[in-house]
Chain A
């Protein structure tokens, strides 16, 4: 396969989106037609929905079979996205209200909506977070983040210990103990991981800058080093937060999709039982 051939991504998207819309329209038309001749469109849409779910689950199956030439996972992800869109539309036809009545049915609706919502969030996240990750310095591997964090903490400690000027020693080491050490040694807070922001960084850097007036040459140089380490550490935490978010999202989405498939099968059995 030659990676440089084939249509552009934009063109591919336009074609796939139009095709999906056409298919949705056709299925919707069939459901309407069936309703008009007093058939049971819910059967048709229900089975379509279930098949949709099965196709959606195939992405996870493909991912776990890396050794077979089953088409690239990225192709499967594309199929998944459009089938996801299609399934959502069919859901709307199948369950005209937002959340269906009945215990099992309302549970099923909620799970479906959560999976779908998380799916749409996933598209957004996987299209935007990588750019934000790329924008910060240093591309850290997730499994190495703890290690890098320790490195930074050790470097900061060393920088502080090596000060020889008495005045600088006093000023910087006090600040290190009070503000920097807790920051470097501990992991980022849960609040930061959920919503990373620049407050901590700004505050620490501002405070460090403040110290300048108590410092001479050597002290300022070390303060500069510490400031650089604060930035590095903050960038690292930012990387950690966003990468963790991406990872948690996949786990959430795929686990919940398993629950959904199970619930959908039970729903089908119940319905068949009830009718039969």
Chain B
């Protein structure tokens, strides 16, 4: 009954919002004459979502000019691009931040921190002309300009870049960016236009249906399996000691599954109001409790909620994020149990919170290829217990067989720095806190700001300190969802799934590869507000910028005020580290990783 409630169906109204409202019949007809669309089998598509409909609603035509940066390495994106005419280059090695128009984070010293503070203007959010526009800094080069209706960044000295960096040329009919779009992973390479080119941008919803065409699907699948699946599998800590030939067999057997809506942030405001029971009921079911395990589920991206039935409803016991495993306990136990014991069923159900992308490894493959290469200490407790009890039984045959599952894990020595300590997700002691965190999708936060309201004297020193080091404008508001004594403050959490980064036309919002900090690169931020609208937690504010005397910057062409996205940047580059944390006189405020539970539970424990 329950699974009947959660079968994902395709509503015909899914095209209420086309990707580009200006796509015409003529555009669609023209696309139909081009590869690969001209070879697609119309009849493979469901009536509700015909090929022409996909081209019309899920696609957009884009003209790019030579040197234009189309996608950047590290960006997140919802769409793939197909080359129709012209050529693009995929850069095999990374470009520098500066080449992409971004300002690398610069660490400043004590002296500069002091002069900045003393010389701060009475007006909030002041900028120099160079900070407002890259063009002002680039000595007359139009590094950032509009192409048709979209703003674009151009590389300077394309020939030089192409000479110095290894690159691959893509021509008509070739697709790129589909892995990032379908599997919600950062773009792996920067792609620039080599000549003037026409591209079709296809959003992931469209890509998914296009896979109804066998040939298209096979091409995609083969490409993914050959190039990306090995990479994604190797990212899983448990598989890191796997020998190459075993890995090959795992790759062959692994299946990819996607659940839910990737644009979870659009529904977020509604779903966070739902009662947990309703919310759980609305989440696509990935695995049901009580089934016989047939595969190990590895979360590749997105979020999962692990529940057990409790009374008439479900109780959340943990949430899963990237790299976490579901079903490992049961599968390891089943693989190692003696014949006489019956197999363990899935002890929990798994639901997709928002969206969940999973790799499913069949149990036979797991048992033969993977299990022998997992360190003993990384095995789940039940399997460890089983193993221990085998050894003990061998020593002492008179002993009765006990219920291994409930046997507490005895202490054993392991090297914590080496081992994967939470391979099966995270759980808090308190179920209500756990449910709260999932409900509000705070488990997305890698660096969330949490205030202990039992200690916070509401002095706002944290806010003042933030303003003091950020141009007089605090980059967060001291408000936010409250659970018990904890307030989850509206400050950027530098999320594991940074939905704010999807859709920025110039790549001005970017994640630092080393620190994970998501920050705005002012001089290429065009002020469109896409990121602010996308952040479900409302942690980005658009601010009008002024010069030191308080005179607003306005756009030459339109005369309108220039706005920039502003948000918490973790005080990167400042010698002080996050000023908010340092400023709190009562140790009430922390920045903490909520994608795992131990930091928060330890912190809470410590305060008693």
Interface residues of chain A, those whose CB is within 8 Å of chain B, are 1-10, 63, 65-69, 71-74, 76-77, 125-126, 129-131, 133-134, 139, 141-143, 243, 246-247, 250
Contact = CB atoms under 8 A, between A and B. Distances in A.
Given A4-B598, A67-B576, A72 B581 contact: yes
Contacts of A63: 461, 583, 585
Interface in B446-478: 453-461, 464-465, 468-469, 477-478
B479 A139 contact: yes
A250 B459 contact: yes
A3 B580 CA distance: 14
B29 interface: no
Q: Interface residues of A: mostly helix, strand, loop or mixed? A: helix
Contacts of B454: 130-131, 134
B575 A130 contact: no
A143 B463 CA distance: 12
B418 to A, nearest CB: 19
Contact of A130 (B113, B455, B479, B606): B455
5 closest Cβ pairs, A-B complex:
A4-B602, A74-B587, A66-B465, A134-B453, A3-B590
Given A3-B591, A3-B599, A246-B458, A66 B575 contact: no
B457 A130 contact: yes
Given A9-B608, A130-B455, A66 B599 contact: no
A69 to B, nearest CB: 5
B574 A67 contact: yes
Contacts of B599: 2-4
A255 B579 CA distance: 25
- Interface-centre pick from B577, B583, B606 (highest chain A CB count, 10 A): B606
A74 B465 CA distance: 14
Contacts of A71: 582
Contacts of A131: 454
Nearest to B606: A8
Given A126-B457, A130-B454, A73 B582 contact: yes
Contacts of B461: 63, 73
B482 interface: yes
A115 to B, nearest CB: 17
B603 interface: yes
- Interface-centre pick from B482, B585, B603 (highest chain A CB count, 10 A): B585
A139 B456 CA distance: 11
A151 B226 CA distance: 60
Interface string B376-399: 000000000000000000000000
Given A129-B457, A246-B458, A66 B478 contact: no
B579 A73 contact: no
Given A9-B606, A72-B587, 7 more contacts: A66-B579, A68-B575, A73-B585, A130-B455, A142-B458, A143-B460, A247-B459
A247 B460 CA distance: 10
Contacts of B575: 67-69
B-side interface size class: 35 or more
B114 A67 contact: yes
B482 A139 contact: yes
B585 A130 contact: no
Interface string B104-126: 00000010011011000000000
B560 interface: no
A69 B108 CA distance: 12
A130 B114 contact: no
A126 B116 contact: no
A3 B592 CA distance: 7
21 contacts: A2-B599, A8-B607, A9-B608, A63-B583, A66-B465, A67-B113, A67-B468, A67-B576, A68-B576, A69-B575, A72-B581, A73-B582, A74-B587, A76-B585, A77-B586, A125-B457, A133-B458, A139-B479, A142-B460, A247-B459, A250-B459
A218 B398 CA distance: 78
Contact of A66 (B110, B576, B605, B606): B576
B485 interface: yes
B515 to A, nearest CB: 14
Contacts of B482: 139
Contacts of B583: 63, 66, 72-73
Interface in B527-566: none
A21 to B, nearest CB: 23
B524 interface: no
A73 B588 CA distance: 11
Contacts of B591: 3
B116 A67 contact: yes
Nearest to B578: A1
- Interface-centre pick from B113, B454, B460 (highest chain A CB count, 10 A): B454
Contacts of A9: 606-608
Contact of B584 (A65, A74, A139): A74
B487 interface: yes
Contacts of B116: 67
B584 A72 contact: yes
A240 B596 CA distance: 36
B454 to A, nearest CB: 5
A39 to B, nearest CB: 39
Contacts of B581: 3, 72
A246 B574 CA distance: 30
Contacts of A133: 453, 458
Contacts of B114: 67-68
Contacts of A66: 464-465, 468-469, 576, 579, 582-583
Nearest to B453: A134
Contacts of B600: 4
A74 B590 CA distance: 12
B453 A68 contact: no
A126 B456 CA distance: 8
Contacts of A76: 585
Contact of A139 (B110, B453, B455, B602): B453
Contacts of B117: 65, 67
B593 to A, nearest CB: 9
A130 to B, nearest CB: 6
B110 to A, nearest CB: 6
B453 A130 contact: yes
A246 B581 CA distance: 20
Contact of A74 (B110, B585, B603): B585
Nearest to B468: A66
Contact of A69 (B465, B477, B576): B576
B479 A4 contact: no
A244 to B, nearest CB: 10
Contacts of A4: 592, 598-600, 602-603, 606
Contacts of A139: 453, 479, 482, 487
B479 A6 contact: no
A76 B582 CA distance: 10
B568 to A, nearest CB: 15
A213 B459 CA distance: 46
A32 B8 CA distance: 83
A7 B459 CA distance: 26
B487 A74 contact: no
B477 to A, nearest CB: 8
Given A3-B599, A73-B583, A134 B457 contact: no
A105 to B, nearest CB: 32
Contacts of B477: 141
Nearest to A1: B577
B475 to A, nearest CB: 13
A72 B479 CA distance: 22
